[in-house]
Copies of this chain bind each other. A is one copy, B any other.
Amino acid sequence: MKIVIKKEILLEGLNNVSKALSTRNIIPVLNGIKFEVTKKGVTLTATDNDISIKHFIDKKNIEKIEEEGTLVIIGKIIVDIVRKLPNDIINLEDLDNTKAIISTKTSKFDLNCYDLNDFPNIKFEEENSPIKLDTKIFKEIINQTSYAASNQASRPLLTGINLKITGNLFECCATDSYRLAKKTLTLPDTNTNNMNVVIPSNNINELVKILEDDDEILECSIFSNKILFKYKNLLFQSSLLNGSYPNTDNLIPNTFDINLELDLNEFYNVIDRASIFAQTKEKNIIELEVKENKLKITSNSHEVGKVEEKMNCENLDNKNIKISFSSKYMLEVLKTFNNEKIIISLNGEIKPIIIKEKDDKNLIQLILPIKTF
């Protein structure tokens, strides 16, 4: 194997596939990145047996392909080397198929390689008619929902994010059973393939880190136990979680007794200050009291003291209520919105709190209140 390639081209590919390198993998070869050089170009592959990523560099972006071949190079080291080399041309070749030589005019690295035979044989299957999604929209959806997934291994399904397509309806949902985030979208085309899968939220977050804010199409192929995303010259494959995701539709009320219109930034700052004391407590409990067009937010800490914040709101139904909830959860919800105005909808002090943007009802955020009496 022997190629000459620009630093930035190689680094982009290495950065992408390195998202699949586990830091705590006990199988040594899974710390490696596989380089496959053919006349068509260079394919980089990495896997931790849960996420697998393949990045293809076409020959037209490579200065010279002098010799075909395959090597598995220590991932962390090769990324570090290429990152620190000057912005110039890099030579990469093998030595007796067991070592990699990375060199420039003034630098030369001899790297021991893993045995190629130890590297798992990952199949990246694509469907003939994959589901097509807009990359920018997909990124936003995941960022608005995945934070609500559980990080408790005790209920594995809830550590995932539920993606559903039925006809032209796309739905994305995550919950840890104390809060829930759900985004619904109408797709421009009706898909012939419906889907209903649960993807580990950590995996989908790694995918989102790779995706850029562009208008490229993200293609999605679903199999019984895995899902494949295709984005530009990249294939990203994740395992799926087995089991049927809880039906969350009936958790979200359709009618509300109380609807409050609030300024997003002001409410965020108020909750943020009210949570200064809450930090010392497990559940970060704060209390919200609505009286006509006034909100009062309070929090108590026996050791430290108490806080009381006031702000105005539009009390659309002119009803009063007192309700308690986790300030940490509320702050995380508020970070998912972009609009200036939000609507908080309530049905009483032990019923779910629903938060939406004023002008966009596609994103539903739910927090369960906390009983304090």
Enumerate chain B residues within 8 angstroms of A308, measured Cβ to Cβ. 107-109
Known: A80-B276, A106-B311, A311-B106. A269 touches B86 (CB 8 A): yes
Q: Is A111 on the interface with B (CB-CB < 8 A)?
A: yes
CA distance A276 to B74 in the complex (A): 12
Known: A81-B273, A273-B81, A276-B81. A110 touches B303 (CB 8 A): no
Enumerate chain B residues within 8 angstroms of A306, measured Cβ to Cβ. 109-110
CB–CB B80/A309 < 8 A = no
CA distance A99 to B74 in the complex (A): 59
CA distance A307 to B111 in the complex (A): 8
A73 and chain B: residue at smallest CB distance: B305
State which residues 303-352 of A face B: CB under 8 Å.
303-311
Q: Is A85 on the interface with B (CB-CB < 8 A)?
A: yes
CB–CB B305/A273 < 8 A = no
Partner of A77, one of B276, B309, B311: B276
CB–CB B273/A304 < 8 A = no
Q: Is A84 on the interface with B (CB-CB < 8 A)?
A: yes
Interface size in chain A (residues, C-beta < 8 A): 30
Partner of A111, one of B110, B111, B305: B305
CB–CB A109/B305 < 8 A = yes
Q: Is A272 on the interface with B (CB-CB < 8 A)?
A: yes
Cβ distance A281 to chain B, nearest Cβ, rounded Å: 13
CB–CB B269/A84 < 8 A = yes
Q: Is A194 on the interface with B (CB-CB < 8 A)?
A: no
Cβ distance A83 to chain B, nearest Cβ, rounded Å: 10
Cβ distance A317 to chain B, nearest Cβ, rounded Å: 24
16 A-B residue pairs with Cβ-Cβ distance under 8 Å, sorted by A, are A74-B304, A77-B276, A80-B276, A84-B272, A84-B273, A84-B276, A107-B273, A107-B307, A107-B308, A107-B310, A108-B307, A108-B308, A109-B305, A111-B304, A111-B305, A112-B304
Closest 4 CB pairs of A and B: A111-B305, A108-B308, A110-B305, A106-B310
User: Which of A's residues lie within 8 Å of B, judged by CB?
Assistant: 74, 77, 80-81, 84-86, 99, 106-112, 269-270, 272-273, 276-277, 303-311
